[in-house]
Chain A
Amino acid sequence: MAETIPSGENSLLRETIAVRKIGRLERFLGPENYRILTGLLKTPASILGFVLIGLFILIAILAPVIIPPVTPNNPYKIPRDGYSSAPRPMMSDWTRTAPPLPFWWKPIMKTDHWVHLLGTSQGQYDVFYGIIWGTRTAFRTGLIVVVATFLIGVIIGSVSAYYGGVVDNIIMRIVDVFMTLPFILAALILAAVLTPRIGASLYPAIIALIAFGWMGYARIIRGDILSIKERDYVMAARVIGVKDSRILFRHIIPNAIFPTLVLASLAIGDVVLSFAALSFLGIGTAIGYADWGQVLSFARNWITSLSTYWYIIVWPGLTLVLFVMGWNLVGDALRDVLDPRMRGKT
């Protein structure tokens, strides 16, 4: 590393040549992508965002330690403490089907039986359990949808941009058609049609979110590829007779993919939000499945008495807001970094 830095007493040299260490990560990512990455870690807002995201990752990983499942082979089933419909307040005793006590319970809570930390919702579903295990559901659905939409978007967008002409025109019109319907309505319909086919589970909503979520990535990567395919090194590859698929996958996509990749990884917040909206509307998971939208939807029958039962919307609502805000804060910083007018102003 030391050899790359010019040395000697020549002051003119030191002033005119930027003397800067170039780390291994920067070498690997390239200067532009490295700038994006470091730009994300600079503002307090985006750091707060990363902290929030980290916290939720921790909760998701530690879920069995925080509140051990009552039915270990189906941990996503929220345990019910009875069947009466009216919610029960926070810190009320857990009489039936209480989960096993985790090691942290006794030292902190000073008792040896479970209470409903955040109360129960309609049908005696424990709110705390739903929130903690719902974090896993959130990450699971978020990751599946983001990876799938990203792959579909990148493949369709890059084929469209690389071949151009008629192919590009047809593909972009298909994208237009998919974008015509309002996203949440389209996803609602597809999930509703799929549910009788494949049963009430996470999958109807996941498939619906994938089917109507890939178009944004296709458009972005298409734009990036359109500019990169005019570069000299692509021309050079073409001149020496490299196959189309190899040029596309080895030369163009690796150079164009990074902004789309970062954008996709930050879309988890939006995906989780849409998923929660769908299950709030009653589409997708079976009743009692640990997921935030479902826990919130229990509140729909208690609108007139929400001043008494405030905990059935405030806690799951706050969880969802903090989760989405974490991703939005990072995403906001990203938008600033990706803005072409900001380039070169690190």
Chain B
Amino acid sequence: MTTYIVRRLLLVPVLLFGVTVLIFAMLQFLGPVERSALYVRDIPKNDNAINAIIKQYGLDQPIYVQYWRWLVGRTVNGVRKGGILFGDFGYSRTASQPVVDLIRNRFPNTLDLTIWAVAPVLLVGIWLGVQAAVHQNGFIDQAARIFSIVGTSFPTFVFGLLMLMIFYAKLQWFPPGRLSDWASQVVYLSSFHHYTSLLTFDALLNGRLDIFWDAMRHMLMPILTLSYISWATFVRVTRSSMLETLRMDYVTTARAKGLPERDVIYKHAQPNAMIPVITLAGFQVIGLLGGVVITETVFNYPGIGQAAASAAQQLDVITVLGFALFDGFILIVANLVVDVLYGVIDPRVRLA
């Protein structure tokens, strides 16, 4: 087990290096003049100002020098400036603040949304999948089958727009955005403590059920839009994996020695059937971080996905690349966790 984890940990710096190189390479599609012109406000753009920026940030240096400088920054009078490894992702022109601050402001909202999108799927979706397998061709099974074909054909943004059309424009049940006006005023008061900076959890911890409910009302449509594909895939994958496991000899053995059916299913079969489900969970994290870009844009939800999309529309490359770096770091960690979990669960993996 230790060798397995160590070997897996050794891969992390390789992936980190690879992702930074990939993102830096994408930055190179813009020449030095274009990159510095983004930060010159005078119109018509002043050549001297552009040249000054190119000189100051060393954009005329060889690429490997630029990469190193981008990575660790440079020292001016004994003070370190810049360097993505030290948390300086550059300055966002469109948001008029450092990219790191923008991420810090927006990420809690995204995290709030994804937690509420993922948790029910993990808790209920897997249970539904097991039920679909145990009662093969039963109601849950058939419903899941139809839902997954229709669901996977529905583009997220079409689904989101339809939700808006029905539940917001027509029925006026669920509004888009983050909070109602009265609630956002309460949240800004000093009496409202931001323990976790996740709005729904803070509301609960402050004992403000009305604010929790208001936040939930705004989040319900984005949650459904973000997670309907996950529901379909989780139920399907759990089902087929469970069906396969139930046909194994050791399950027959367990039944033959007279164990109650409940123990056979939940103690003998289910843990082994969870292996592909964990792989899927890893992919889902990646999928969600991509999915928030579209979902948040459709619902105008102030998370990192919406910020990335609007920065991309205004061709604010530095900001978008900052988001990519951030996502890349998160996903490398998420993949690591999934792989280690694999080793914990499946002896075939850790002994290989």
Contacts and interface: CB of A to CB of B under 8 A. Distances in A.
Interface string A305-346: 111101001100100110011001100100000000000000
A280 interface: yes
Given A178-B22, A181-B327, A332-B149, A281 B169 contact: no
Nearest to B29: A193
Contacts of B291: 182, 184
B327 A185 contact: yes
A195 B315 contact: yes
Contacts of B335: 180
B327 A328 contact: no
Contacts of B161: 296, 299, 303, 306, 313, 317
Interface string A254-279: 00000000000000010001001100
Given A176-B18, A321-B158, A190 B26 contact: yes
A177 B294 contact: no
B85 to A, nearest CB: 17
Contact of B309 (A45, A174, A281, A293): A281
B308 A185 contact: yes
B290 A177 contact: no
Interface string A273-298: 10011001111000000000100100
A184 B312 CA distance: 12
A313 B169 CA distance: 13
A208 B56 CA distance: 31
A196 B18 contact: no
B168 interface: yes
Contacts of B149: 45, 325, 328-329, 332
A194 interface: yes
B153 A324 contact: yes
A296 B149 CA distance: 22
A173 B27 contact: no
A321 B165 contact: no
Interface string A171-211: 00110111011111110111111111100000000000000
B110 interface: no
B169 A185 contact: no
Interface in B88-145: none
Give the one of B26, B165, B308, B323 with max A CB within 10 A: B165
A84 interface: no
Contacts of A299: 161
A305 B170 CA distance: 8
Give the one of B153, B293, B294, B315 with max A CB within 10 A: B153
A304 interface: yes
Nearest to B14: A173
Contact of A196 (B155, B287, B289, B315): B315
A45 B293 CA distance: 32
5 nearest A-B pairs in the assembled complex, by CB-CB distance:
A182-B290, A177-B18, A325-B153, A306-B165, A306-B169
25 contacts: A173-B14, A176-B15, A177-B18, A180-B335, A181-B22, A181-B328, A182-B286, A184-B294, A185-B289, A185-B290, A185-B327, A188-B312, A189-B321, A192-B313, A196-B34, A269-B153, A277-B155, A282-B312, A296-B157, A304-B169, A306-B168, A306-B169, A317-B162, A321-B155, A328-B152
